[in-house]
């Protein structure tokens, strides 16, 4: 796909966003509404594959394009947040295997995920190790030519329904981030159990328990004791696209606000003619465009093979905070009608809140940016 120039999308790229948003509205949203909320939706995942979207994030040659991932997530989030989440989780769960696994692991576990026949998950967070991933306690003890995993993971997207998990566990005690290893664990592994956690939004999340789950040595991703490289490399790729998803949600809220302000009348005229409303919409539009540009910039830097730690953090921070503000502002423009259960803005209001927490909280993004500004110690 042709690259954007100066963070302005080409016609082909803009068409991808628009077509994906229409597909989300017409095809994926009806499926999502009929599915089981808060659980992995296999029918929706299969539809993503059938409509050619999963293959775009699992290219046959080379790594996925960070910018294309952003365009897909922006388009999907503008029409169906459940579809956007499903696409992102397939990538997040399986990308570490593509990045650091053997050809046999990729063929066995990633190929079904890319076809929409299997559900993937990224299992990093623990009850006492969220933002501080170096504090992981899930034990991976040597057992002959493999390992035994014992402990717990929580707030894991697609748990407990996934068919394959990328799991991060401690192989060397008291070694901090240098003692963690990444493993591929099948969802039906003996000793692995879990349960769903109900959230405010419909995001599929659960906890996992590992009771001596045996993992063969050939299911290690990358090098033993260097699993955080696998985790951080994956998060670096996906962090800007979290911002892109928020841009999609914010744009949907802005579009709804503009349409309602044009049709809703008060005191004999459309409410868009009142400065309090028009200026609020102008502020929303400016912030959404600024967030979009930050997202595109971070993605382009990544696609150029360059380090984008600061830019990705800025994109994730600004876009998630902007989406929260934009959706809240759109609700204010609508008034009470937007609070009715099932209204687009009511759903977006519930869905957007988690984005300021997962894959690094807003506070952590500010810490990353501040550290990058300070330069080497």
What is the location of CATH 2.40.110.10 in the chain? Answer: 120-225
Cα distances (Å, whole numbers) of residue 242 to 42, 126, 352, 357 = 22, 21, 11, 11
What is the location of CATH 1.20.140.10 in the chain? Answer: 229-374
Whole-angstrom distance, CA of residue 131 vs CA of residue 227: 16
pTM, full prediction? 0.92
Residues marked as catalytic: 359
CA dihedral 16, 57, 155, 77 (to 10 degrees): 0
Whole-angstrom distance, CA of residue 294 vs CA of residue 320: 12
Length of the chain: 377
pLDDT for the residue 21: 96
Nearest Cα to Cα of residue 249 among 324, 329, 356: 324
pLDDT for the residue 1: 52
Structure-block tokens of residue 270:
């459309």
pLDDT for the residue 369: 95
pLDDT for the residue 4: 46
- What CATH number does domain 229-374 carry, 3.40.190.290, 1.20.140.10, 3.40.50.920, 1.10.10.10? 1.20.140.10
Nearest Cα to Cα of residue 20 among 53, 54, 49, 63: 53
Structure-block tokens of residue 330:
């759109």
- What CATH number does domain 11-115 carry, 1.10.10.60, 3.40.50.300, 3.30.365.10, 1.10.540.10? 1.10.540.10
- What CATH number does domain 120-225 carry, 2.40.110.10, 3.40.50.150, 3.20.20.20, 3.40.50.720? 2.40.110.10
Structure-block tokens of residue 152:
């717990």
Structure-block tokens of residue 204:
């599929």
| CB proximity list for 279: less than 8 A, separation 6 or greater | none
Helix (H, G, I), strand (E, B) or coil at 334: helix
Per-residue pLDDT tens digits of the chain, which is 377 residues long? 554 445 778 899 999 999 999 999 999 999 998 877 879 999 999 999 999 999 999 988 778 899 999 999 999 999 999 999 999 999 999 999 999 999 999 999 999 999 999 999 999 999 988 778 889 999 999 999 999 999 999 999 999 999 999 999 999 999 988 999 999 999 999 999 999 999 887 889 999 999 999 999 999 999 999 999 999 889 888 889 999 999 999 999 999 999 999 999 999 999 999 999 999 999 999 999 999 999 999 999 999 999 999 999 999 999 999 999 999 999 999 999 999 999 999 999 999 999 998 888 999 999 999 999 987 65
H-helix segments, the chain = 11-23, 29-34, 42-50, 54-57, 66-79, 81-100, 103-105, 111-115, 227-263, 275-303, 309-334, 344-352, 362-374
Structure-block tokens of residue 223:
């090098």
Strand partners, 298: none
pLDDT for the residue 33: 87
Greatest CA separation found in the chain?
Answer: 80
């Amino acid at each position: 796909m042709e690259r954007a120039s100066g963070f302005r999308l080409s016609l082909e790229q803009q068409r991808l966003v628009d077509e994906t948003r229409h597909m989300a509205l017409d095809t994926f949203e009806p499926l999502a509404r009929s599915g089981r909320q808060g659980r992995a939706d296999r029918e929706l995942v299969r539809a993503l594959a059938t409509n050619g979207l999963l293959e775009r994030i699992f290219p046959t040659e080379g790594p996925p394009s960070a910018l294309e991932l952003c365009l897909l997530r922006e388009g999907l989030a503008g029409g169906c947040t459940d579809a956007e989440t499903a696409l992102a989780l397939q990538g997040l769960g399986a990308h570490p295997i593509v990045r650091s696994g053997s050809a046999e692991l990729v063929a066995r576990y990633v190929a079904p995920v890319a076809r929409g026949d299997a559900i993937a998950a990224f299992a990093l967070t623990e009850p006492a190790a969220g933002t501080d991933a170096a504090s992981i306690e899930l034990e991976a003890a040597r057992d002959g030519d493999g390992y035994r995993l014992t402990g717990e993971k929580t707030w894991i997207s697609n748990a407990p329904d996934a068919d394959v998990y990328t799991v991060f566990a401690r192989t060397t005690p008291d070694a901090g981030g240098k003692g963690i290893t990444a493993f591929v664990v099948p969802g039906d592994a003996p000793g692995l159990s879990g349960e769903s956690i109900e959230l405010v939004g419909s995001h599929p999340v659960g906890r996992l328990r590992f009771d001596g789950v045996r993992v063969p040595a050939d299911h290690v991703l990358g090098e033993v004791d260097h699993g955080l490289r696998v985790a951080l490399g994956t998060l670096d790729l996906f962090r800007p696209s979290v911002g892109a998803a928020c841009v999609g949600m914010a744009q949907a809220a802005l579009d709804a606000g503009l349409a309602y302000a044009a049709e809703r009348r008060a005191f004999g005229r459309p409410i868009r003619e009142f400065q309090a409303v028009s200026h609020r919409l102008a502020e929303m539009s400016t912030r959404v465009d600024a967030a979009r540009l930050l997202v595109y910039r971070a993605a382009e830097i990544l696609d150029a093979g360059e380090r984008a730690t600061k830019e990705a953090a800025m994109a994730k921070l600004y876009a998630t905070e902007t989406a929260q503000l934009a959706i809240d502002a759109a609700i204010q423009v609508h008034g009470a009608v937007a609070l009715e259960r099932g209204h687009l803005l009511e759903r977006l209001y519930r869905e957007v809140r988690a984005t300021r927490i997962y894959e690094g909280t807003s506070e952590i993004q500010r810490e990353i940016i501040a550290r990058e500004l300070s330069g080497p110690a």
